[in-house]
Every structure is written in C-alpha cells, then in structure tokens.
Structure 1
Amino acid sequence: MTETKKYVRIKKAKFLRSWYSVYIGRMYIVIGENESEYITHVGDVLKEDAELFVTEKRPAKVGERVLITVAAPIGEQSYETGDVFVAESLYDPFTKDIQVLGMPDFIDYNEYEVIVNSEVKNEEAGEMKIDLNGMGTMSYTRMEKQLWRR
C-alpha cells in the first residue's frame, strides 16, 4: 500500500495579520484539518487561502504530475521544493528517476511525490493576491481581540 501525504500551498492571505501572509507560495505538510482550516506544524491555514495537494510516494508514470518535496542541492538546479512538473519520460526504471519538459537533468526519485489529487479552494489562487481590505466592517480592536483569543 502506498503512503499518501497532504501538502498545502499558501495562495493568498485573507487577513494581513495571518501568520502566513508573508509566506505566500510556500508549502507545508498538513497534519490535520477541520471544516475551515488546514493544520500544519507551523500553524493553521484557512482553506480558502490555500491549495491542497494529495500525493503518493511511488514512481511516476509518463504524463503524471509530480510535486518536488525535497529538492536536493545539486549545483545550480532550476527547480526547488514546491515546484510541480509533468513527467515526460522515465530516466531509468530501476532508479525511478524522471525527466520533465525543459529540464536537461533528471529528477531523482527521492525528490518527488506523485500528485494524485489537487484542488484550488479559491478563485484567486492563480493570482496570489493579498486582500489588504480583509477586515471588512469589523473594527481593528475587535479583530485584534479575536486574534489574541486563539
């Protein structure tokens, strides 16, 4: 049985005071979730502010999307942790390495996981906007009190 993991990529920050408002684009491992938030080892992320990736650790097949989970620092490689690629060819069936379009070198099996499901929970995900007016009509002091209660 293959092991599945969940990762969340920060796409926007509804509230400027959210801990992740300065980490847009970064990925974190999901350790739990409730009806409105993903729980990571760093903190909770609103589902509407994130994109969820469900992955399996197995060799990729041609045409499958892969998520770089641990980019090994080899010289000046052109990819980093959190990048998503489509497997174009299998480099070696024994080592399970893959090649992707536009990359001269192979991606090692230890660096990627196969994406089995991903979903964007918000419409602005591709734009990566920060909503600076996220407070709406709530007063600053009332919002601050709610944040400190957490």
Structure 2
Amino acid sequence: MDSARDSSDKRVDDSEFLEMTQQDPAQAKILRQSLEHLASGLGGNALKEMAQEVLSGRMGLREAANVSAYAEEAVQQSAPLAEKWAAMSDRERDELAADGEHRLEEQRRQLEEERRRAESENRSDTKSRHDGRGWSLY
C-alpha cells in the first residue's frame, strides 16, 4: 500500500513526458493522464505497478518499456484494441483519429488558458507595493 501512497505523494517531472512527446505539452499531459488511469488499476496489476513506478519517478518510461513483465502485459492488454482497429473501416479510423485530434486541440487550449491565467496572476503579484497607484496625498 505504501507504493500507492508514494506514487501519489511524489510526482515525476513533466520533462520525462515532454521528451517522449517531442516537447508537446498537450501530448505530455495526455500521456500523464493515461499513466494515472493505469496506476488506478485500469490495465491490470503489472501495468498498475509500471505506471506507479513511472509516475513516482522511480523508473523512466523507456526503462519501464524494457521490463519484460510490463511489456508482455502491455502487449496482452492491447491485443483486443489492435483487433478492433484492424476490423474498422477507413472511415471509422478517420473518425477516431479526428476525435483524437480534437482531444489534443482541447488540451492545448486548456494549457494555453492556464498559461495566460498564471501570467496574469504573476503580473498582479509582482506589482510594487510603492508603485504610487491607489493612494493620494490629498
């Protein structure tokens, strides 16, 4: 149980995920969310452990992919998805790809809004106490 608590208390730096996503913050956030889903047990015990190890920073994602128990479980869990993909028509695949692009664009918009909000807060926080505004001698 301690490892579950450790993984929620300590979080890996986003640079791990940025490297894996060609420095795309939106894709990195989606990758983190996917790992968080796996860490909740969504993909079975081996992938839960792998995700917890990666999210805690105890193991890198590339390193985890080279652990045979994790790789075997990932292959096993993805087999039904690969079969489903193979059975889809081109139109269905295109629709699924468009849905993914829409999700990615939505994530980019959210990150941009968060960045703007943080910049706005930083500007208001850095205002000098003695900037001369807000008081009068008279």
TM-score past 0.5 threshold = no
Superposition TM-score, scaled by structure 1 size: 0.23
Superposition TM-score, scaled by structure 2 size: 0.24
Q: Which has the higher strand share?
A: 1
Higher relative contact order (CA 8 A, sep 6+): 1
Structure number with larger C-alpha Rg: 2
